Structure 1
């Protein structure tokens, strides 16, 4: 009886392992959002890891999360590392390439809850309404990743985070774009008022030269 139980358990484990191994070896998550803003505003928020806390959907997972920044302040070579609770995990992001106002490529490496690597890309496409920001993540599923996909929809789970992050970027950049226009309009109105004031000021008539007889 015990041998039959061991045999059945072994067969179950082997079957489950084989089933997990047949899961997709790669994954891809992509979301996009159009924003009524100049392209430099969303590009700047993504290209500088110091500014990710304004919009990142994961930053609030652990208020006590430890963060470190290495390399250049922003752009290619910039490195951001974090270590937090079970939800935040531990990992590193490195900007591999950044083409101003076109694209940003980032390598994402998780150390916890389990090791994994993926490539993240942000693209910025000018459109009539402003700019469309597209956020993509691609990677390879190891055994743990394949097993995890049996119980969780990775596209749905990470996709929701992407949607939140993009929505926050949209709010921040559209607000700043509006403020920028208002500041510009105020400066132009001030300049026009000053020019009108100068034009309205009377000019002194030149004094006639009197010759001494």
Structure 2
């Protein structure tokens, strides 16, 4: 009986590992929101990393985290590094592309709780004279450990929830 149980556990573990290996090699998560403001009014809230302190959901998860800004205040080369609690981890982001008032692209690197290198993109699409569709997206590689985690957790739900909170805070900041 013990031998049968051990064999079944090994078979189940192998099946889990094989299933995880079939997951995509990359991931993408994105959320959008409509803001009652033109792109020109919203853009500085994204392009100036100091402004993120007012709306980023990650700032609220660890108000005590250590923050370091370097490079220009905004635009290409602006850099923000953090070292926070276990929920936030440690890493940095740097603006690599800034096209006022329609697009900001960032390199996002995590060093803790695990190493990851992703790309973050913000797109601002005007809707008439007084509104904007703002999209926040992240994409990057999915190493095997991440694939294994997605068997049990939805990356879209985990990150997407934070993006929804952040976009709502950004809308409030812009519209007030």
Q: Report the TM-score, using the length of structure 1 for normalisation.
A: 0.76
> 3-state SS of the aligned residue for 1:108?
strand
- Please give the alpha-carbon distance, in whole angstroms, between the structure 1 residues aligned to 2:175 and 2:75: 23
- Please give the alpha-carbon distance, in whole angstroms, between the structure 1 residues aligned to 2:9 and 2:35: 55
Shift of 1:11: 4.1
Shift of 1:56: 0.2
Q: Is residue 139 from structure 1 mapped to residue 120 from structure 2 by the alignment?
A: no
Q: How does 1:37-186 map to 2 (within 5 A)?
A: 37-128=37-128, 129-175=130-176
Superposed CA RMSD in Å reads: 1.8
Shift of 1:135: 0.8
Q: Is residue 29 from structure 1 mapped to residue 10 from structure 2 by the alignment?
A: no
- Please give the alpha-carbon distance, in whole angstroms, between the structure 2 residues aligned to 1:152 and 1:16: 14
Shift of 1:160: 1.3
- Please give the alpha-carbon distance, in whole angstroms, between the structure 2 residues aligned to 1:38 and 1:10: 57
Shift of 1:92: 0.8
- Please give the alpha-carbon distance, in whole angstroms, between the structure 1 residues aligned to 2:85 and 2:29: 24
The structure where strand makes up a greater share of residues is 2
Determine the structure 2 residue equivalent to 1:184: none
- Please give the alpha-carbon distance, in whole angstroms, between the structure 1 residues aligned to 2:160 and 2:117: 17
- Please give the alpha-carbon distance, in whole angstroms, between the structure 2 residues aligned to 1:137 and 1:123: 12
Number of residue pairs matched by the alignment: 175
Q: Report the TM-score, using the length of structure 2 for normalisation.
A: 0.91
Instruction: Return 134-143 or 96-105, whichever deviates more.
Output: 134-143
- Please give the alpha-carbon distance, in whole angstroms, between the structure 1 residues aligned to 2:168 and 2:157: 16
> 3-state SS of the aligned residue for 2:156?
helix
Whose relative contact order is higher, 1 or 2, with alpha carbons under 8 Å and at least 6 apart? Answer: 2
> 3-state SS of the aligned residue for 1:24?
coil
> 3-state SS of the aligned residue for 2:16?
helix
Bigger Cα Rg: 1
Alpha-carbon spacing, 1:71–1:6, altered in 2? closer, same or farther (3 Å): same
| Runs of at least 5 residues in structure 1 that lack an aligned partner in the other structure | 176-213
The structure where helix makes up a greater share of residues is 1
